[in-house]
Amino acid sequence: MTHARLTPLAQSLPANVPFVGPEAQERSLGRAFKARLGANENIFGPSPRAMAAMAETEHWKYGDSESIELRTALADLHGIAPENIIVGEGIDGLLGYLVRLLVGEGDAVVTSEGAYPTFNYHVTGFGGVLHKVPYRDDREDPSALFAKAAEVDAKIVYLANPDNPMGTWHDGAALERALDDLPQNSLLLLDEAYIECAPEGTAPALSANDPRVIRMRTFSKAYGLAGARIGYAIAAPELITAFHKVRNHFGLNRAAQAGALAAVRDQDYLTQVQTKIADARDRIAQIAGESGLTVLPSAANFVAIDCGQDGTFAKAVLDALVARGIFVRMPFAAPQNRCIRVSCGRPEDLDLFAAALPEALKAARGA
């Protein structure tokens, strides 16, 4: 019988995905969620200019394989050269390309226990070996990450700032100092997906030509274009050029490029969204406090709520919220899994969450 001959590595991997999406959960439940507060999407939506630009796109054309207009606009925004920027299919796509470039079977990679699982998915998919260190005070620990990298001769060290799933962050100047301890042959992958939501000074003041670091950013969060799947990386030109060896040159659709370009050019709208995100974080903290819970300070477009017990209890709270039509998520690893994670939403979304949380807590405590 004819069959596809998978590689031994592919045969050894589970056929799963890092996250079970809300649509899949809705199909399983047989009904739609009342409030979608689990995927860290920007529920406030993208710039109207971005929406108009996407609607006016000539879809019969392939997208520009070099994304020149968008890279130039991003370069102007950040005061760097277009040669320092690569555009890709969201940070997830860029993570896959970077791992493909650097990680072979048996190569060491360092991350935090409970950090962004899609990165881990790419590493194992190319045969890399993951080495994990624990969070420290609910934050990723640069000192421990870099020490582990030196111990195992890591090709890549992954660090998100602000962090997902906790929303915590490090001051940019502190990260600059910590880089002195990054091993010479390791590359810091700095995931800055939530940087537009963070306080000023969270981004380290590093040269785009610094060969020690690649920074990844996205249009999925503050810019509100998660469905368009578009992001970018900033790094030294030599590393950026290497992406052209493996990337899908026509992987970015023309509408996504047009929407992202219009979004970059509408910084006034971004400022409005940043205000709405800050207000929503305050509202989530208020809702949690009214139920006797505390929150972790957040620099992202979500808030981690400490449920006050362990991961089993937090999962019971999450399940009770889902049963009441409120989609949220929670961290995977202890002790961070004592929390649930709630995305910033519109007032009407958070009103639904406020009504459901006391009932969910009561159900979890009864269970």
pLDDT tens, residue by residue, 188-209: 999 999 999 999 999 999 999 9
* Tens digits of residue pLDDT in 8-44: 999 999 988 778 899 999 999 999 999 999 999 999 9
With vertex at residue 286, the alpha carbon angle to CA 282 and CA 292, rounded to the nearest 5 degrees, is 145
**pLDDT for residue 2:** 77
Q: How confident is the model at residue 256 (pLDDT cuts 50, 70, 90)?
A: very high
Percent of the chain beyond pLDDT 70? 100
**pLDDT for residue 96:** 98
Query: Are the CB atoms for 168 and 159 separated by under 8 Å?
Result: no
With vertex at residue 331, the alpha carbon angle to CA 329 and CA 337, rounded to the nearest 5 degrees, is 115
**pLDDT for residue 1:** 63
Give the span between the Cα atoms of 312 and 183, in whole angstroms.
38
Distances (CA, A) of 146 to 18, 154, 164, 178, 277: 25, 9, 19, 9, 32
Q: What average pLDDT does the segment 141-154 reach?
A: 98
Options 3.50.50.60, 3.30.1220.10, 3.90.1150.10, 3.40.710.10; CATH for 20-45+268-366 is: 3.90.1150.10
- Predicted TM-score (pTM) of this structure: 0.96
* Tens digits of residue pLDDT in 81-119: 999 999 999 999 999 999 999 999 999 999 999 999 999
**pLDDT for residue 280:** 98
The radius of gyration of the chain from alpha carbons, rounded to an integer in Å, stands at 21
- Phi, psi dihedrals of residue 88, rounded to the nearest 5°: -150, -175
Query: Are the CB atoms for 327 and 20 separated by under 8 Å?
Result: no
pLDDT for residue 316 is more than 90: yes
**pLDDT for residue 3:** 85
Where in the chain are the domains? 20-45+268-366, 49-265
Q: How confident is the model at residue 257 (pLDDT cuts 50, 70, 90)?
A: very high
Q: Please give the class, per CATH, of domain 49-265.
A: alpha beta
**pLDDT for residue 19:** 84
pLDDT for residue 367 is more than 80: no
* Tens digits of residue pLDDT in 35-78: 999 999 999 999 999 999 999 999 999 999 999 999 999 999 99
